[in-house]
């Protein structure tokens, strides 16, 4: 039997067998871009919750330095809410069928990668301030005098060490989490792009 005959038989006998699913046009997608879109919504909601927490903390901690850092966090999280919500609105989980496969694969890969990088690097600027704010609040709770506490050299050194350790630790932790969540999907997409480019 030649290849074409075997294919016709295979197609008619094996490949046309119905799957167990009934025709049910859902409105929910499990596509990676949809997951990314949902992740943005979740991030937005978390940022809103944190915003409320920071506003509440303004009433708890009256020290000027802590208030300044809290306002900085509020500004960062307000920006984060806006950026994440904008991304949530922009992401479209429907693959344009009028585009060729390579464009779809490349666009999906670029979209997810750029997005993850952007989030990672923006967060890198927020971690030191978030860490310092927590440090000051802890100090204020323990000693009651934040400026007096900061006059001690050991405290300043501890603060610097905390920022130096915490910032890259959070950066690499978030990078690892992104890799766990999206790494496999991105690798699969890259493999297919490579297979399309492979001349053989």
Partner 1 sequence: MSVAADQKFTELIDQSRGIIYKVIRLYVRNPEDEKDLFQEILFQAWKSYPRFDGRSKFSTWLYRVGLNTVLTFQRRPDLVRATDNLEPVGGSDHSHERNESVDALYQAIRELNDIDRMIVTLHLDGYENEEISEIAGITKNHVAVKLHRIKETLTRKLKDL
Range 76-95, binding partner 1 (CB under 8 A): 94-95
Q: 101 or 160, CB closer to partner 1?
A: 101
Exactly one of 65, 126, 150, 185 binds partner 1 (CB under 8 A); that residue is 185
111 interacts with partner 1 by CB under 8 A: no
9 interacts with partner 1 by CB under 8 A: yes
Exactly one of 62, 153, 154, 199 binds partner 1 (CB under 8 A); that residue is 199
167 interacts with partner 1 by CB under 8 A: no
1 interacts with partner 1 by CB under 8 A: yes
Q: 102 or 152, CB closer to partner 1?
A: 102
Exactly one of 47, 130, 140, 189 binds partner 1 (CB under 8 A); that residue is 189
From CA 22, how far away is CA 196, in angstroms rounded? Answer: 33
Q: 78 or 190, CB closer to partner 1?
A: 190
Contact assessment for residue 101 and residue 181, using Cβ atoms and an 8 Å cutoff: no
Per DSSP, helices labelled H in the chain are 3-10, 32-60, 64-90, 101-143, 146-150, 153-178, 184-197
Q: 1 or 153, CB closer to partner 1?
A: 1
Using CA atoms, how far residue 60 sits from 2, 16, 135, 164, 167, in Å, is 80, 66, 15, 27, 26
20 interacts with partner 1 by CB under 8 A: yes
From CA 181, how far away is CA 36, in angstroms rounded? Answer: 10
From CA 124, how far away is CA 76, in angstroms rounded? Answer: 12
100 interacts with partner 1 by CB under 8 A: yes
Task: Work out how close the CB of 101 gets to partner 1 at its nearest, in angstroms, rounded to a whole number.
Answer: 5
CA angle 34, 39, 76 (to 5 degrees): 140
96 interacts with partner 1 by CB under 8 A: yes
Task: Work out how close the CB of 170 gets to partner 1 at its nearest, in angstroms, rounded to a whole number.
Answer: 26
Helix orientation angle between 101-143 and 64-90, rounded to the nearest 10 degrees: 160
């Amino acid at each position: 039997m030649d290849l074409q005959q075997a294919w016709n038989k295979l197609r008619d006998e094996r490949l046309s067998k119905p799957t167990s699913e009934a025709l049910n046009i859902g409105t929910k997608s499990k596509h990676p871009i949809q997951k990314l879109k949902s992740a943005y919504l979740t991030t937005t909601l978390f940022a809103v919750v944190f915003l409320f927490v920071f506003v509440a903390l303004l009433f708890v901690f009256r020290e000027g330095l802590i208030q300044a850092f809290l306002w900085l966090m509020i500004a960062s999280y307000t920006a984060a809410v806006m950026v994440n919500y904008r991304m949530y609105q922009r992401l479209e989980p429907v693959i344009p069928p009028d585009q060729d496969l390579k464009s779809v694969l490349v666009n999906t890969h670029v979209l997810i990668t750029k997005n993850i990088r952007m989030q990672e690097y923006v967060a890198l600027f927020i971690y030191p301030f978030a860490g310092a704010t927590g440090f000051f609040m802890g100090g204020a709770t323990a000693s009651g005098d934040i400026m007096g506490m900061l006059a001690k050299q050991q405290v300043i050194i501890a603060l610097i060490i905390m920022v130096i350790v915490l910032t890259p630790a959070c950066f690499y932790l978030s990078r690892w989490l992104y890799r766990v969540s999206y790494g496999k999907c991105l690798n699969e997409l890259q493999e297919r792009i490579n297979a399309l480019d492979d001349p053989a």
